[in-house]
Amino acid sequence: MNSSLIKIRKIEQSRINEFDFNNIIFGKNPTDHIFLADYHNKEWSNLRIEPFSNLSLSPIALGLHYGQSVFEGMKAYRLNNNEVVVFRPEKHYERLNKSLKRMCMPEIPHQLFSNAIYTLLQIEESWVKNINGSSLYIRPFMIATEERLGVKISDEYLFGIVCMPMGMYYSSNLKVKVETKYSRASEGGTGDVKCAGNYGNSFLPTHLAKQEGFDQILWTDSIQHEYIEESGTMNVMFVIDDVIITPPLTGTILDGVTRDSLIKIAKDLNFIVEERKISYKELELAFIQNKKIEAFGVGTAAVISIIESISINDKLYHTIVNPTSIACKLKKVLNDIKSGSIQDKNNWLRKIDYFTHEDDDIVEFKDSLKLWIINK
């Protein structure tokens, strides 16, 4: 990437005073601005932050027809000392590029990614609150934009970043069922990346489960339909007789940032953690034997969402749900790290001024325009 400019055009009047931070509906209320960049002739150009608005896209843009669409999800928090931080941006950056590589899309240079994230957050900082466990959800995404039909790799792309306030993804404990008919992913597929097709593929079986009164499903492997993999929008963890068990990263499930974080936290707390295959039959036998069982989904949006019941072959089993559970202990430590209440021993939090580089040069600053040179 040659020297380029992030051009900033700010909104005339922020909408923040119209927003109720005590009643957040996730996904419907973006902040004031959006970051965008174009990929053409194998270079990134036209880097810009502008007021949030609809995109202009050709009806024959390749991404609309052939599935080259990737996204990432990450969060910013306001610490107790009022500083704004992003949780594990490097891990999210690595996962984004892994997804892009798998979908044959151009990877994002690290400096472009970090400058875009933190420059956007400097502008939207007032949207990051430290109330009611809220956070600012950050959604980087990329879509193929070349204007033509034909099954081919696109030569042009749009990279964007939007933000929106977020509270709890799930407002109550979850009821799930083990899915043994439909498959989310298969070996050699795209199950371990965040491409749009993975989610469209999951809608019908999830919809059918919701019609039966469940909140989510537990996906099983595509070959035997026996080994549990994920739960909807989340990785999944079980606790059987105080041992934490989570499916391994075999290529069909997402390498969750929250999953990885909780494994580290659990080991620091001296819990036994097993990353291994777990059959729904093993889980069913543990219920029949009256073992102590917890289950919870983990993810950036969901954080830790307690699963209170699991349907296996149309029989409903109830898990342990109480404030002293291992899930609650893990959640408290993770939340305390994110709020700054306890030491961030793993260096997971990045302040919004973290991106500054010696080779950056601010060349102009006005109320309505800020130009940032990115040297590569």
CATH of 4-170+344-374, one of 3.30.470.10, 3.30.360.10, 3.40.50.2300, 3.40.50.10540: 3.30.470.10
Buried b (16+ CB within 10 A) or exposed e, 106-122: bebeebbbbbbbbbbbe
User: Whole-angstrom Cα distance, residue 80 to residue 89?
Assistant: 20
Q: Write down the pTM of the prediction.
A: 0.91
pLDDT of residue 142: 98
CA neighbours closer than 13 Å in the CB half-sphere of residue 140: 26
Q: Contact 309/175 with Cβ under 8 angstroms?
A: yes
φ/ψ of 122, rounded to 5, equals -60, -35
Q: What confidence tier does 215 reach under pLDDT thresholds 50, 70, 90? A: very high
Q: What confidence tier does 366 reach under pLDDT thresholds 50, 70, 90? A: very low
User: Whole-angstrom Cα distance, residue 78 to residue 40?
Assistant: 37
Taking only the tens place, the pLDDT of each residue in 160-174 is 999 999 988 888 999
Q: What confidence tier does 198 reach under pLDDT thresholds 50, 70, 90? A: very high
- Those residues whose C-beta lies under 8 Å from the C-beta of residue 244, and which sit 6 or more positions away, are 237, 238, 263, 266, 271, 272, 273, 274, 326
Q: Mean pLDDT across the chain, nearest whole number? A: 92
Query: Quick one: which of 262, 253, 149 has its CA closest to 192?
Result: 253
Query: Quick one: which of 159, 134, 291, 296 has its CA closest to 231?
Result: 296
What count of residues does the chain have? Answer: 376
Q: What confidence tier does 109 reach under pLDDT thresholds 50, 70, 90? A: very high
Taking only the tens place, the pLDDT of each residue in 121-130 is 999 999 999 8
pLDDT at 375 over 90: no
pLDDT at 267 over 80: yes
Q: What confidence tier does 352 reach under pLDDT thresholds 50, 70, 90? A: confident
pLDDT of residue 164: 97
Q: What confidence tier does 367 reach under pLDDT thresholds 50, 70, 90? A: very low
Determine the topology of domain 174-320 in CATH: D-amino Acid Aminotransferase; Chain A, domain 2 (3.20.10)
Q: What is the arithmetic mean of pLDDT over 88-114?
A: 97
Task: Determine the Cα angle at 285 with ends 312 and 310, to 5°.
Answer: 30
Mode of pairing for the β-strands spanning 174-179 and 303-312: parallel
pLDDT of residue 371: 37
Q: Domain coordinates of the chain in residue numbers?
A: 4-170+344-374, 174-320
Q: What is the arithmetic mean of pLDDT over 262-288?
A: 98
pLDDT of residue 22: 87
Of all residues in the chain, the percent with pLDDT exceeding 70 is 93
Q: What is the arithmetic mean of pLDDT over 202-230?
A: 97
Q: What confidence tier does 368 reach under pLDDT thresholds 50, 70, 90? A: very low
pLDDT at 362 over 50: no
